[in-house]
Structure 1
Amino acid sequence: MTLSPSIRVKICGLSTAEALDAALASGADLIGLVHFARSPRHVDLETGAALSRRAKGRAERVALLVDPDDALLDAVVEALDPDWIQLHGREAPERAAAVRSRTGRRILKAIGVATLADLAQVADYATAADGVLLDAKPAPGALPGGNGHAFDWRLIREAGLAPTFMLSGGLTPSTVAEAVAATDAPAVDVSSGVERAPGHKDPDLIRAFVTAVRGASARPGN
């Protein structure tokens, strides 16, 4: 993840023009469109294409996929024209590299974290992906992401990770400043933390989240 003077903000799981416009107006750096049928934030390709066009040139567009095959990759790239592809399944480093080669898009690989050992995977994707997103590891049978759970942020410092990751998992307007202070995260991602119900974004919460991150960016040391 490329570092910038301020902490980069990704609002993920956007599915309506109203929510997207709130994210863009608030100054989000990246917006995420989920194409995964099991998710309450799933958007079909037609809807996703319209939202992607609306965001083009105003924020970086991320298509979130879970263990996509090549046919799905081709369809998503054609319809959504994303700047990034977020791989949120069990994609091995070799698959992440192959997706990048096939699509020509930057790759953000999600890594589920529950223990210190999970963070060892970060090094495995150093050359296969353009960035890693650290999320709470889901419980068996749960969705691969967007579950609103945080992991122990102290693990990041314990692992000695360089601040080149995106932090996700259970972040909210009231907790994101604490999370940034605890991890030195240069980028943060939120989905369920700015929703009034699963899959239904709240524009006021989106604005509050971005405002909280910008406040954390302005603090000494950030």
Structure 2
Amino acid sequence: MSIPITFSRTRIKICGLTREEDVDAAVAAGADAIGFVMYEPSPRHVTLERAAALASRLPPFVTPVLLFVNEHATKIIAACARIPCALLQFHGDETPEACLQAGRPFLRAARIPLDDNPEPGSLRFDLLKYAQDYSSAQAILLDAHVEGFGGGGKTFNWSLLPPSVNAHLVLSGGLTPANVLEGILQVRPRCPTLAVDVSSGVEIAKGIKSADKINQFVAAVRAADEQLAKNIVQHVRLSPT
């Protein structure tokens, strides 16, 4: 006899969108959130007016996310007024206090080092402390630490993450349709819930998405969820009663 299993599916965010057709393709594929980059140096940057126009295409229950890097609070508050249902995402050096200034739910990016072997005497990134420091965040977004801000399409070593993190996590950094299944299988058991965030992995050029790649990415995420659910059911059936 099988035991009913409650399994939380992996939420999906497609980030760095700049075109109407890409927003529509992401929604049609089943994305849960759409990210707009408000950081001017980024090649995927959109103005607030453009972000508002693109966000207006989103149906209910698909969340717009505004990505900021060390932005002044007044501009963030103005953006929230223009796109009132948006979730905020902070990718710079923002303190916990700075993240709270807009009074809106937010994600906090953690920049995970790429180096598997840090220099003697140096400390690896302390994700447990970081999650505690930013406990007001809805989730901690795991991205690769590269020069500048953003992951630059790089993946970090998922196996080096702590075995148990008391925070909702968003896996980002170099995800593609080819590797997201493995990323989910490695990271999902380490946290209460997991989401994934992709940008360059579904692009044909910076800021230009591919509907085919988006569909492939979503399909790979769903395949990972199915595999995790089967593993849980098998574990329960094999456990002694």
Tell me if TM exceeds 0.5. Answer: yes
Pair 194,209 (structure 1): closer, same or farther in 2 beyond 3 Å: same
What is the distance in 2 between the residues matched to 1:162 and 1:155?
16
What is the distance in 1 between the residues matched to 2:144 and 2:201?
14
Question: What's 1:190 paired with?
Answer: 198
Q: Which amino acid aligns with 1:24?
A: V
Question: What's 2:218 paired with?
Answer: 210
Counterparts of 1:51-70 in structure 2, within 5 Å, are: 51-70=54-73
* 1:166 shift after superposition: 0.6
Question: What's 1:121 paired with?
Answer: 130
How many pairs align?
Answer: 211
Question: What's 1:135 paired with?
Answer: 143
* 1:58 shift after superposition: 4.4
What is the distance in 2 between the residues matched to 1:97 and 1:111?
17
* 1:75 shift after superposition: 2.1
Question: What's 1:156 paired with?
Answer: 161
**Larger CA Rg, structure 1 vs 2:** 2
What is the distance in 1 between the residues matched to 2:171 and 2:14?
12
Question: What's 1:98 paired with?
Answer: 101
User: Any idea what SS the aligned residue of 1:109 has?
Assistant: strand
User: Any idea what SS the aligned residue of 1:9 has?
Assistant: strand
What is the distance in 2 between the residues matched to 1:124 and 1:155?
20
16-25 or 55-64, which deviates more = 55-64
Q: Which amino acid aligns with 2:160?
A: L
Contact 1:62 1:83 in 2 (8 A): yes
Q: Which amino acid aligns with 2:37?
A: V
- Match of residue 15, structure 2, among 12, 28, 32: 12
Question: What's 2:118 paired with?
Answer: none
Q: Which amino acid aligns with 2:168?
A: T
Question: What's 1:45 paired with?
Answer: 48
Contact 2:12 2:31 in 1 (8 A): yes
Give percent identity, aligned residues only. 40
What is the distance in 1 between the residues matched to 2:110 and 2:77?
24
- Structure 1, residues 143-164: CA drift from partner, whole Å, max 9, x if none? x115100111012245x32462
TM-score by length of 1: 0.88
Question: What's 2:171 paired with?
Answer: 167
Pair 163,124 (structure 1): closer, same or farther in 2 beyond 3 Å: closer
Contact 1:52 1:81 in 2 (8 A): no
What is the distance in 1 between the residues matched to 2:167 and 2:140?
11
* 1:202 shift after superposition: 1.1
> Hey, which bits of structure 1, 4+ residues long, moved more than 4 A?
none
Q: Which amino acid aligns with 2:14?
A: I
User: Any idea what SS the aligned residue of 2:57 has?
Assistant: helix
Q: Which amino acid aligns with 2:84?
A: D
113-122 or 35-44, which deviates more = 113-122
* 1:199 shift after superposition: 1.6
Question: What's 2:3 paired with?
Answer: none
Contact 1:35 1:44 in 2 (8 A): yes
Q: Which amino acid aligns with 1:124?
A: D
Unaligned runs of 5+ in 2: 1-5, 116-123, 233-241
Unaligned runs of 5+ in 1: none
